[in-house]
Amino acid sequence: MSSQVSSPEITHAQEHASGTSRIWKTFWVLSFLTVIELSLGYFLYFYHGDLTYGFILGTKLLIAALTIAKAYYIVSIFMHLGDEIRNMIMTIIVPLMLFIWFITAFLWDGNSWKTLRNTDAGSRPAQTEQSHTPVIDKDVKK
């Protein structure tokens, strides 16, 4: 094949000779996953009033998991990272593992701020129904 970059330092793998069927298959997988995500999004939109908080959170986590699956297909097939050697895959994937801590810690922190604010830093119990009705004093004088 003439696709070789003329360098003795690189061995080109055979997958470059394959046809386009894998690309189109990936396209349909990505489209399918997106349609599932949208279905779940519409499910939440139409039924969120009837669902418990935990169920809504679980559905959102499922949507996030489908997004991770889409990311896998884009990076592995479209960006051909899956065709590279293990050394190359690891030098990209291992640093990105930081995101696991990054997401957990920061969302935890955000939730902690909310709790501190709603309880005046733990000095009173949080109201079950969050009261954020602003005091509209100018209404009163009408």
Partner 1 sequence: MPTNTKWWNGGRSPFNISYGKVMMWYFLMSDAFTFGAFLISYGTIRFSVNHWADPNHVFNAFPFAGHANLPLVFVSLMTFILIFSSVTMVLAVHEGHKMNRKGVEKYMILTILGGLAFLGCQAWEWTHMITGDHAVLVNGQIEHWGTTVTRNPWGVEVMHNGAMVATPGPIAFGGYFFGITGFHGFHVFSGVIINVTMLIKTRLGHFDQRGHYEMIEKAGLYWHFVDLVWVFVFLCFYLV
Picking from 101, 130, 100, the residue whose alpha carbon sits closest to that of residue 115 is 130
Residue 127 DSSP one-character state: P
**Cβ proximity of 35 and 5 under 8 Å:** no
What is the rounded radius of gyration, in angstroms, for the C-alpha atoms of the chain? Answer: 25
The answer to the question of residue 100 lying near partner 1 (CB under 8 A) is no
Binding mask 116-135 for partner 1 (x = CB under 8 A): -xx-----------x-xxx-
The answer to the question of residue 4 lying near partner 1 (CB under 8 A) is yes
* One-letter amino acid of 62: L
Query: For the stretch 94-120, what's the b/e string if a residue is b when 16 or more beta carbons lie within 10 angstroms of its beta carbon?
Result: eeeeeeeeeeeeeeeeeeeeeeeeeee
Binding mask 79-98 for partner 1 (x = CB under 8 A): xxx--xx-xx--xx--xx-x
* Closer to partner 1 by Cβ: residue 9 or 50: 9
- Would you give the distance in Å from CA 16 to the centre of its chain? 30
Place of tokens 């991770």: 68
The correct pick among 36, 43, 51, 70 for binding partner 1 (CB under 8 A) is: 70
* Closer to partner 1 by Cβ: residue 4 or 120: 4
Contact residues for partner 1 (CB under 8 A)? 1-11, 13, 16-17, 20, 23-24, 26-27, 30-31, 34, 37-38, 40-42, 45, 60, 63-64, 67, 70-71, 74-75, 77-81, 84-85, 87-88, 91-92, 95-96, 98-99, 102-103, 106-107, 109-111, 113-114, 117-118, 130, 132-134, 136-139
